[in-house]
Structure 1
Amino acid sequence: MDARLSPDQLRGTGKLPILPQAAALCYRIQRGQPEVLLITTRRARRWSIPKGWLIGGLTTAQTAAQEAWEEAGVVGHCNADRLGQFCYLKHRTERGSALCLVDVFPLQVQSLVSSYPEKGERKRKWYSPEKAALKVASPDLAEMLRSFGPYPH
């Protein structure tokens, strides 16, 4: 499936269920320049950003912040304005594959804690946005990283 198709085009295919997710593009400013935090996925160990299924009772931005905490130990302020979207194919053993449409929110990191729920399952590392763009699999996420500029909170 072409990850560069628009969400409307993807919905029209009818071949795969399209499921919403939320993600946090976690960033900090070091020596006047932004850095973004990437984490590894649990199974494939590919670099990505914290993301997950929507959580009942939370907004999409709040879900993104919760995922950043669980997956990377991030404490910070998540902007409620969506930065962008990307799609990826999720292989689910029991329910079949699905196309995930991920809303991305910028999250300014105030601190990283050493103990968090998924600490033993993932690695985390800071990169310049340009280097981070080279590490991720999604072309749309890579473009978002390349064009990223810090957001005022």
Structure 2
Amino acid sequence: MRRKMNKVLNQSGVIPYRERNGRIEILLITTRDRQTWVIPKGGIVNGMTPPASAAKEAWEEAGVIGQVDVNELGTYKYRKRGKIYRVKMYLLPVEIVSNSYPEASTRYRRWLDATLAIKLIKKSSLKRILKGFLETRLHSCASSL
């Protein structure tokens, strides 16, 4: 019996963050069923770069705007409904938070201390990317003192 080759679908996402009182906070959103805390991500739109597409998802899913860092932070894979997805992750320092955005009625969002945000994320590969960001960010904050 031949095994069907699964095509990997490419997505991009952001880690929306801000600094408050010397601490890093990450904005998490829920899945549409409001069961799990996640980060904004989605399919890469034809004709858009992965960072630009990630910025679009951040607006639609979380109502946040900022200048996405074009340097890829890392990638992770996950399965959903028999499909495999590869997500390219980028940083989004949040500049604007809107209360009116496309998916406001289907998702919750919450600013959390970075260490708590990492604990609430279920996917271990995404946790690893978040921890790497936090360690790098804390190191750069400490060296600028």
Give the CA deviation at 1:145.
1.4
TM normalised by structure 2 equals 0.86
The size of the alignment, in residue pairs, is 135
CA distance in 1 between partners of 2:30 and 2:7 (Å) = 25
- Structure 1 residues 98 and 44: CA distance shift in structure 2, 3 A: farther
What is the 5 A alignment of 1:18-33?
A: 18-33=8-23
Query: 2:59 is aligned with what amino acid?
Result: W
Which residue does the alignment assign to 1:145? 130
- Partner Cα distance (2:92, 2:23) in 1: 15
Q: Which runs of 4+ in 1 moved over 3 A?
A: none
- Distance in 1 (CA, whole Å) between partners of 2:93 and 2:50 is 16
The aligned counterpart of 2:54 is 64
In the alignment, is the contact (CA less than 8 A) between 1:129 and 1:148 conserved in 2? no
1:136 Cα deviation (Å)?
Answer: 1.1
Name stretches of at least 5 consecutive residues in structure 2 with no aligned partner: 141-145
Q: Displacement of 1:56 after TM fit?
A: 1.2
Whole-angstrom CA distance in 2 between matches of 1:82 and 1:21: 12
Q: Secondary structure at the match of 1:16?
A: coil
Q: Alpha carbons of 1:33 and 1:44: their partners in 2 closer, same or farther (altered >3 Å)?
A: closer
The 8 Å contact of residues 130 and 145 in structure 1, kept in 2 or not, is answered as no
Q: CA deviation at 1:44?
A: 5.8
Which residue does the alignment assign to 1:123?
Answer: 108
Task: State the partner residue of 1:103.
Answer: 88
Distance in 1 (alpha carbons) for counterparts of 2:23 and 2:51: 24
**Percent identity over paired residues:** 36
The aligned counterpart of 2:143 is none
Question: Is 2:36 the counterpart of 1:51?
Answer: no
Secondary structure in 2 matching 1:61: helix
RMSD between aligned residues: 1.9
Q: Which consecutive residues of structure 1, in runs of 5 or more, have no partner in the other structure? A: 1-12, 92-96
Q: Secondary structure at the match of 2:105?
A: helix
Q: Kindly state the Cα deviation for residue 112 of structure 1 after the two structures are TM-superposed.
A: 0.7
